[in-house]
Amino acid sequence: MDSTSLAFLKTLLDAPGPSAYEALPARAWRAEAATLTDHVHVDITGNCFATLNPGGAPKVLLAGHIDEIGVMVTHIDDDGFLSFDTIGGWDHQVFVGQRVELLARGGRLPGLIGKKAIHLIAKDDRDKVTKAEDLWIDIGASSRAEAEALVEIGDAGVLASRVLEFPKGRLVSRALDNRVGSFVVLEALRRLTAEPPRAQVVAAVTSREEISYTGGGARPGATGLAPTVAVVVDVTHATDIPGSDKKKHGDAKLGGGPVLTRGAAINPVVFELLRESARAEGIPFRIEASSRDTYTDADSIFNATTGVATGLVSVPLRYMHSPNEMVALEDLDATARLLAAFARRIDATTSFLPH
C-alpha cells in the first residue's frame, strides 16, 4: 500500500461517523473519489457513489458501509452529566473508563465515561456486569445550563481513539468495521482507472448498516442504482486468537487474504467468479459458510429491486466492535486487487442466472 492510500485510510478511520451521523467520513471519501472520477454523488440516505466508465455494461456495484458503532446523548441531568444509549452492538464492559468524542453543534466535544470508583461500589456489586444505564458521560459541566450550552439530546459520538500502526503491517482503530470496506471499494476503483473495465463500475459507501436489519442505506441505494451485480465488502472475525472455535466461527486469520462467503444472499455465479479471480491473481483466500442471513449489506442488496446478483468478500478483523480493532494491511490490498480483477472479468454477455 502506497503512502497516499495509507494517509487516506487513516483520515477515514479517524473521522467520527456513527450510524446515521456519517457525514464527516463520507465527505472525506467523496473528496478522495473526486480525484479518480468526475462522477461522484450522494443520495438522500447518505450513501455515496463514484462511477467509472458510466457508458459500460453491465452495472457493477462495489459496496462497503461507512458507519461505525457509537453512542447517543439521551438525557442531561441537573448537574450536567449526560446519560447515553448505544448506537449499534456494544459489549458494555468496553465503555468503562473510556474517553468519548461527541459530534456537537459547536464541533467535536471531548468527554469521558464515568463510573463509581471501585472503592465506592459495594463488595457484592463489584462482580456485576456493567451496563450503559449504569454509566454517564462527563463533559466537565457543573449544571444542566452549562451542559446544554455545549450539547443537546440526540447528539451522537464515538469512543475517542486514533489510528495506531503496529509491526508487520497491522493497523489498529475503533472504526475498521467497516471503514475498511469503504476504503477497499475505492482502492479497487483506483486500480481500475489504470486498466478500465468493459463494465460500468460504481464504488459505493452505504449508511446505517450497524443499526438496521431492514437494510439501512444499502437497500434504497441499490434500488436507486439498480445494478446487475454487486459485491459487498465487510469484515469477518479473525479466529487466529486464543480461545477461538474455528469449527463454529470459521478459519480466518490476519494476513490470510480475503474471505469469500457461500450460502444465503450469495449468487453462486458471483462466488465462482470471485474464486476464479483470486486464483488467477494468486490471491490467498478463505471460504466462509452462511446458511442463513449474512448480517451484512449483502442481505439487503441481494433482495433489492427484482434481485441483484450479490457476492460478499470480508476482511479478517480481530476484536470486532471494540475501541481497538485490528487488520492486516496486506489483506486490504489483496481485497482491492480481487475486486478489480473480478470487475475486469465481467462484460455485457456475462450471465448471473443460477445454473
Write out pLDDT tens, residues 125-134: 788 888 888 9
Domain boundary among 131, 159, 187: 159
Quote the pLDDT of residue 251: 86
64 shares its domain with 122: no
Distance CA(29)–CA(83), nearest Å, equals 32
Quote the pLDDT of residue 166: 98
In a domain, 46, yes or no: yes
209 shares its domain with 331: yes
In a domain, 353, yes or no: no
Distance CA(44)–CA(224), nearest Å, equals 11
Are 339 and 199 in contact by the 8 Å Cβ rule? The answer is no
In a domain, 62, yes or no: yes
259 shares its domain with 121: no
Distance CA(70)–CA(261), nearest Å, equals 27
120 shares its domain with 180: no
141 shares its domain with 184: no
In a domain, 164, yes or no: no
Domains in the chain, number: 2
280 shares its domain with 297: yes
Question: 191: burial class by Cβ within 10 Å (0-12, 13-18, 19+)?
Answer: middle
Domain boundary among 130, 159, 188: 159
Which tens digit of pLDDT belongs to each residue from 181-202? 999 999 999 999 988 999 999 9
H or E stretch covering 113 = strand 107-114
Quote the pLDDT of residue 311: 98
Q: Is 32 a catalytic residue?
A: no
**Is residue 47's pLDDT more than 70?**
yes
Quote the pLDDT of residue 85: 96
Quote the pLDDT of residue 16: 98
In a domain, 255, yes or no: yes
202 shares its domain with 339: yes
**Is residue 120's pLDDT more than 80?**
no
| 42-59 average pLDDT score | 97
57 shares its domain with 188: yes
Which tens digit of pLDDT belongs to each residue from 136-170? 999 999 999 999 999 999 999 999 999 999 999 99
In a domain, 168, yes or no: no
Domain boundary among 104, 135, 159: 159
151 shares its domain with 252: no
DSSP 198: S
Quote the pLDDT of residue 60: 98
Task: Domain of residue 256: give its range.
Answer: 3-68+174-344
Quote the pLDDT of residue 121: 78
In a domain, 337, yes or no: yes
Distance CA(55)–CA(200), nearest Å, equals 6
Q: What DSSP letter does each residue of 222-290 carry, written as one string? A: HHHH--SEEEEEEEEE---STT--HHHH----TTS--EEEEETT--HHHHHHHHHHHHHHT---EEEEE
Q: Which of 34-48, 246-260, 269-283 has the lowest mean pLDDT?
A: 246-260
The active-site residue, picked from 209, 210, 288, 325, is 209
Q: What backbone phi and psi angles, to 5 degrees, belong to 264? A: -60, 140
CATH assignment of the domain containing 278:
3.40.630.10
189 shares its domain with 122: no
In a domain, 154, yes or no: yes
Quote the pLDDT of residue 214: 63
294 shares its domain with 340: yes
114 shares its domain with 155: yes
CATH assignment of the domain containing 133:
2.40.30.40
